[in-house]
Structure 1
Amino acid sequence: MTNKINLDKIISELANDNEAPLEDLFNHYYPRLYNFSRSFLKIEEDIDDILQEVFVKIWMNRKKINSAATFNSFIFTITRNLLLNALRSRLNNENIKGEILKLSLAEEYSQMEQVEYHELKEKVNNLVDELPERQKEIFILSREEGLSHKEIAEKLGISTKTVEYHINQSIKHLKKNLEKIGLMSVLFFYLFF
């Protein structure tokens, strides 16, 4: 494995449909992406599959890569997005949700041992139900279905700025109301997982 690669040359070759440089990219970036992924997921399971998908996406988007200067940011953004998707899909399992909730609640959880996970989720869901209809729809598409701002905008025929506005308003509403009942870490759990 070489420490240095000529990104400009690799990007140019990829744009010309030469897939050979993908191996150089893989060898160069794999250790950094692996460590980044492991620190993000906290477990090693599925990392290799995710990283393979990163390089598939690079190949699929090879004509859109314009400069070596932005490539690092590009590859880490793809990796981060795939890791977030993996975390969200893991949380479809109720047992994993419960374990992560216990970890994320830390201090508050120890004070509220009698409160079940479903009761906490119901409080959050009730707050989401209080949102104006459009905000609620956008928030659910973002947090429960895992769609990106761009995907939501395309699906609903609105701008990404409108999506961002509605999500920010939703978060403000949840934060304000969860602060009142001392459940800020539930907000963290709900928003980022």
Structure 2
Amino acid sequence: MFFDHYTPQLFTFVEKLTKSKADAEEIVQDTFIKIWTHREMLPGIEKPGHYIYVIARNKALDNIRKAARDQRLLDQVWANISTAADNTLENELRSREYYQLIDQALRRLPEQKQRVFQLSRMEGLSHLEISQRLGLSKSRVNNILVESLKHVKSFLEQHTAIVAFFLWLGSRNRLF
């Protein structure tokens, strides 16, 4: 009864925060899982509606923060790639390594996600332009990019030593 009563409003609330149906579904499920695992606390809660919204809000904010971190990591990698503008052999090799790692990560994505990522990152199109070109909703484009960034971040984390080395090498070169 509790689940059926709160799910529709909670889903709408979380979807407005995250701008993503997929994320909202996951966050609402996680919220009810947390409530279930701490169900012994429910009788002592005076305002269960407020309690559930606070949990959902916090989970949505965590989700947004994580997406922002993913975006910053990818932006840092892209920035390091783009600073390798001169044609020295070292910069050329470093740039190739970055592109190879990111390319490996992207090749593991479904074709549609690869295409959306390419249009956004390589061709610089806005979410609206991509949605119009591919016949997708703007929110779907955003969701695809978030999912793609999560995938690329996860892939890069698996190759942390290589990424850290290139980030270090790039910062070292800027110091000298």
**Structure 1 and Structure 2 fold alike (TM over 0.5):** no
Q: Report which of the two has the higher share of helix.
A: 2
TM range (shorter): 0.3 to 0.5
